[in-house]
Structure 1
Amino acid sequence: MTTNTVVTLHGTRVLRCAPDGPPLDGESAALDLIGDAYGQDAQLVEVPVARIAEDFFRLRSGVAGAVVQKFANYRVRLAVVGDMAAHIDASDALRDFVREADQGDQLWFLTDSDALAERLAR
């Protein structure tokens, strides 16, 4: 298993999660990542799409809301990075959720790590 790493992008410490770690599938997994971020003094957690549980993309499940709320409560930002086109194309509600999230500063859905660096440069 590859380990998570910490990088600094435009003055922001980012916990970059390995693609083969445990899935982000609820509050407990969110708290684990938040704890890792606190331990590494990171302000943002970058999670690859491969680590996002399928239920996260089904908004009715409540997983996305619970995860995002935990990150917001602990004031740690979350970036989901990778190709989410199939999920977004399959759900108007998810498409709207992603669009709204990307307008804010707490949660972003981005295509890759370079897009995250560009977003942080703004």
Structure 2
Amino acid sequence: MDIQKIQQNETTVAVINSEECLITDTQSALDLIMTVKYETGCERIAINKEAIIEDFFILSTCLAGEIIQKFINYGVKFAIYGDYSKYTSKPLKDFIYESNHGKDLFFVEDESTAIEKLSSVC
């Protein structure tokens, strides 16, 4: 796992780029949150989509809700960056749309957009 600290708009974002799947369940999400907070002090995390188990994007598994709740409970805002064009599920598309209009979770196409979103929310 590669963690970089990026400073933008007086905010520090931890950017994670990993070839391996880092978030597979709620415990691994919590472990990631704590690792990032301990190693970087950041409460904003951008992570590549490939580092998250594919079941996260199947809303009927309820995994997304459980994982997102961990991030919110620990006060961490996060963005998942990658290509979402392969997904055809209307509920997932609606979920992504609603998340992107909030302030805690963003689904974006690239790392720079993730950093921009995370550094511009309160």
Give distance in 1, aligned partners of 2:68 and 2:90: 19
Give distance in 2, aligned partners of 1:36 and 1:7: 17
Structure 1 segment 87-106 matched on structure 2, within 5 A: 87=87, 90-106=88-104
2:73 equivalent in structure 1: 73
Q: Does the 8 Å contact 2:36/2:42 carry over to 1?
A: yes
2:62 equivalent in structure 1: 62
What RMSD, in angstroms, separates the aligned Cα atoms of the two structures? 1.5
**Offset at residue 41 of structure 1 (A):** 0.8
Letter in 2 for 1:49: K
2:14 equivalent in structure 1: 15
**Offset at residue 37 of structure 1 (A):** 2.4
Letter in 2 for 1:17: I
Letter in 2 for 1:117: I
Question: Once superposed, which parts of structure 1, at least 4 consecutive aligned residues long, lie more than 3 Å away?
Answer: none
**Offset at residue 26 of structure 1 (A):** 1.5
Identity %: 29
Unaligned runs of 5+ in 1: none
Using the size of structure 1 for normalisation, the TM-score is 0.88
Letter in 2 for 1:12: T
User: After alignment, is 61-70 or 5-14 more displaced?
Assistant: 5-14
Using the size of structure 2 for normalisation, the TM-score is 0.88
2:85 equivalent in structure 1: 85
2:5 equivalent in structure 1: 6
Indicate the structure whose relative CO is greater, using CA pairs within 8 Å and at least 6 residues apart. 2
Instruction: Give secondary structure in 2 for the equivalent of 1:85.
Output: coil
**Offset at residue 102 of structure 1 (A):** 0.5
2:47 equivalent in structure 1: 47
Unaligned runs of 5+ in 2: none
CA deviations on 1:72-107 (whole Å, 9 max, x unpaired) are 0000011000111112xx100000000010011110
Give distance in 1, aligned partners of 2:32 and 2:72: 13
**Offset at residue 23 of structure 1 (A):** 2.9
